[in-house]
Structure 1
């Protein structure tokens, strides 16, 4: 159980850092690229950035990479199973009287 908590925290931290980097890049983008993304609420900006085409330049490339990192299987799909695994381990190791 002590091994699962750091793994989950690491996944959540990486996901948060990627979103913070996306927001930082959005601050300095051309308005043409920034406007369609800034009014969106999570997770729509990430999906929009992940779908940016190659023809939009370096900033779009960086946004696409960060968005894909945030939605990466390691980050997105592993934090939920880690939560489940931690809860299962806690139930197994704690006496039933604790519930």
Structure 2
């Protein structure tokens, strides 16, 4: 059971990394708005968090709650992303720290 979970997680991470590489290759002009690429990445990070953590809240399992902001930002930093997330009125929003000083 444990080995199967590890294999599944490795597969999911490999797929995530491939998608991230593809997203980095896409120009923002082709998208018109970088937010959709960010949302895709946030969805993948959420799936990674759910696959790698036990004791998830019912709200997270239902898709009503995001992983901790600190965890998401640490993962974004590992990926070399220049944007971060913050909690705004109970919802996750993205922002560019460079633009906020």
* TM tier relative to shorter chain: 0.3 to 0.5
Greater radius of gyration (CA) = 1
**TM-score (normalised: structure 2):** 0.34
**TM-score (normalised: structure 1):** 0.34
Higher helix share: 1
Indicate the structure whose relative CO is greater, using CA pairs within 8 Å and at least 6 residues apart.
Answer: 1
Higher strand share: 2
